[in-house]
Amino acid sequence: MNAKPETLAAPLDVERIRADFPLLSRTVHGKPLIYFDNANTGQKPLAVIEAVDRHYREHNANVSRAVHLLGEEATAAYEGARDAIARFINAPSRDEVIMTSGTTQSINLVAYSYLMPRLKAGDTILTTVMEHHANIVPWQLVAERTGATVKAAPIDENGELIVEAFVEMLTPDVKLACVTHVSNALGTVNPIREIARECRKRGIPLLVDGSQAAPHRAIDVQALGCDFYAITGHKMLAPTGTGALWAKREHLMAMPPFFGGGEMIREVRFEGTVFADPPHRFEAGTPNIAGFAGVSAAIGYLEGIGFERIKAYEQELLAYATDAMDAIPGLRIFGRAKEKEPVISFLIEGAHANDMATLLDLQGVAVRSGHHCAHPLMQFFGVPATLRASLAFYNTKAEVDAFVEAIARVRKLLL
């Protein structure tokens, strides 16, 4: 997964990298685009765009349903993506990787197939205050059906999980713990290995939402020690509608199917159906084949750069942007975790987040405004919404400078 050692020593050639991303060269409202909404979705390099295009031009057919050449090629591309994902997250086996539409589907699969059959009244699902709604709402739905309860571990004013409180809440009634690896709203990196170690001591399975981690850091599910890990393709340069769930094999073997349909069976009779082994047991219907061809290309692109280089550059960019924004009068940054990825949530005193985002867009700057699918987190900080600038390795310090200047102009208009 990592780039070669001689590659790691070289700094990123960001201008060359930017040339790989066609959308970064466009203008919006007559201004050069500054795309700072990468936590929402990442832009796509030519390698990914061409992989999807090539699939439809040369290999389009359904998977696992034909012996003709196109069918074999489509199946090879789809299963090749499984191999790429398994390598990307260092899964012990490719058969532990379930292809999904993204983290939301992955978490719902665990909620309904793994957890709900095991839940009863009085049981608890433990999550945290900083979670995305996709790591809250599915647990609430299965809890309502079974009489279980969802509880959230607290965070501090820096946006860091209070690990001691989380561990104290790992009581015998907890049947699953669910934690984000990286907060989508704050960029906070949670200590997954420590959390997983405490969960294992108590025999409590741990699910990790890795949607925001995968674009920024090397993932090793074996080293992390969790039971389930979910990723989303479109956050990490791949097409929308792609993602994966990794789960320990013993869990997959004990899980009944969540979706029913074609290609997840061995034999169907009206007297009863025999299901396929994992992972195909959980992959009913025609998948996003072209999208997963793009996933392979996206993983290859990230691996070609190397996460050591990506991380070093993004941390430099985060520090530069944070310092520049701290110098803006009336600007408040939410989330000052000691370890965080390049995500900065902020507000300007006296200005509404949506108004700011609208006016920044007119300056060519794309940032997210709103609750970021994290209502409980906004409630913790006592605000209805924030602006979020989320950076990637193809962003530049010059863009940060232009962004800060745009904030200053917008601030004068609103205040």
Residues labelled as active-site residues: 373
Q: Which amino acid is at 31?
A: K
> Given strand 331-334, what is the order of strands in its sheet?
331-334, 343-348, 386-390, 368-370
d(CA 396, CA 249): 42
CB 349 within 8 A of CB 389: no
Strand partners, 372: none
d(CA 137, CA 298): 29
CB 359 within 8 A of CB 371: no
What are 219's two structure tokens? 């993932």
Nearest residue to 182 (alpha-carbon basis) of 212, 155, 157? 212
CB 70 within 8 A of CB 54: no
261: left (phi over 0), alpha (psi -120 to 50) or beta: left
3-class DSSP assignment, residue 240: coil
